[in-house]
Structure 1
Amino acid sequence: MKKAALNVLLITALYGLASSLVREHIHVDKIMTWTKAQQYCRLEYYDLSTISDSAEIKQIVDTGTPPCPSNSGYYVWCLLDKWIGQYTDTPNLPVPVWKWSTGENEALCPWASGEPSSVQNKTCVVTFSKTGVCFNLPCSYNFSFYCMNVYEVVLVQQKKTWQNALDYCRQHYTDLVSLKADNWMKEAVKVTKAAQTAHVWTGLRFLSGQWFWAKGDDLVYQAWSTEGQLQCPATNHRCGALGQSEETWQPRDCEEELNFLCFRKLHQTSASATHINEP
């Protein structure tokens, strides 16, 4: 993650772009040790989850607790706990240093009362799915776990129509951004402050009687302006933009030339396995 964040800063400096990172957490219903879970997440997603604020804790708690396999050797624990990316490789220090699998310098998961305990043989961290508080346990235990995908949201300070912005994002990134949850909206609002236009294009589009995201994401989370979601907007106002000052979505003329928000999925480039003791 440090390398990914550094690359984002370099891109920003070279091309005059503003960007921010968004994490999405996924519960993986497989039972593994912490190290195996880390390897799986780095192969299939980005890494084990980093959870650094109350919004991310809520995101994880809201994913629910699916059933555990009956053959799990830690069935009761499995019902409650999931591995995340927090661990320590300095258990013998008077005050062990806890860190994240990605190397991020982020706030730590909130500890449950009395934790961390017996750090010498409990150097990996699980989160209690019902409340989001954390416990340290032996890394050799088997639990399901949370992986994360990491996305970069980029403000492109060029003025284009909605269709030209879409084409640009698909050529240079992944797509126009889908503001599909509160954390996406929060980061989009942050980078939009550097826009040179009062509104910026998003992937929001109206066709065949409904609004949708160009990327195909579900339109569940919504942040329309006070006039609300227009069920039948004017013919030329069928593209969705984010207002820089209002911080809401608005239908705009698709031929209007605005700055726009692209996004792309980041990938680990040279992450090495974390060496911890799993007796």
Structure 2
Amino acid sequence: MAQTLYFPLLLIALCSISECVQRQYHFINENKTWTEAQRYCREKYTDLATVDNMNDMIQLMKSVNDVRLWIGLQRKWQWSSGDPALFLNWASGQPDGRDECAFMKNGEWQDGKCSDTWFFICYNMSSGLVFVNQTMTWRAAQSYCRQNHIDLVSVRNQNENQQLEKFINDSHTSESEVWIGLFRDSWQWSDQSNSSFRYWNTGEPNNAGNNENCTVLIENTNGHWADNTCNHKFPFVCHEDKLIVIQQNLSWSEALRYCRQNHVDLVSVQSVEMQRRVMNVVKLASTEAVWLGLHNYCSMNMWLWLSGDMVCYQNWAPGNGSTPENCKLENRKGAVQSGGDQTWISLPESHRLNFICTNY
């Protein structure tokens, strides 16, 4: 009986060991605006600091002086369609931070009060751009476009911006300001992380003066946060991500060799926290799936990480994760899907995919 129970008890013991996953934080004792700090961090490290949980917060506090400093959380501009605003064409001095909705004037963008009334441009799948010869608030214009067409217009690149400018000029409007579908909404991390962790101080964020769109860690508050005007100058914290997507198409064995020669290893995903970090970086991949450090150990009829650890936390896609009868012949390895729910799938190791190396 003791022998029968031994192996299950060993599995429970091994799976109870929690994985310690930490970003590396770097305190930069130079006074910069939020945008300047972001540029510095992206050049020297990965990005302005992202904080996923209280463990991250504790590690960050160990690396900084007790002063007011920038972290990477900012109120973001996005399109009414839900798409992120990757291309921006602001006029000089814009956005000035006081307003939440965007209009086009002479081919450039400015932020304005959403309660102002302007003409606007809708987008329709069949007819393309639609000029609406009525003045409305931004929200009313958004509602009109969604009810009668698809949405307020989005502008994804310089070519589309020039087409829109020409379309407005050809519409012979006497108004020079025209609503587009850009607005400032919720808080977003600079590295596009989907982390929902927040550590606001009491009464924050309060958007004092309607002009506080960036986040500082406040001195003498045990690391709590407040919103602040982005053009103020403070020290800041960068983070260095320890996961790297390699955009080369290699077999699993070739990917393993590359990671061990150039970094530490193929990544192991032994916790929800590490899965979140994999999800944040895997979107950079150019293949539909990306190799992980996960392999099938046929003689034991089980999956293992390269470290020898068993797969305790699991994120398999339906129909994956079981050991195939011919696994020795197929020699299957584990990969994470780069789209969709980013779940794990098993594939023959000869498939050629991007892969994730770790420096942990």
TM-score (norm 1): 0.48
Higher CA-based Rg: 2
TM-score (norm 2): 0.39
- The structure showing larger relative contact order (alpha-carbon pairs under 8 Å, at least 6 residues apart) is 1
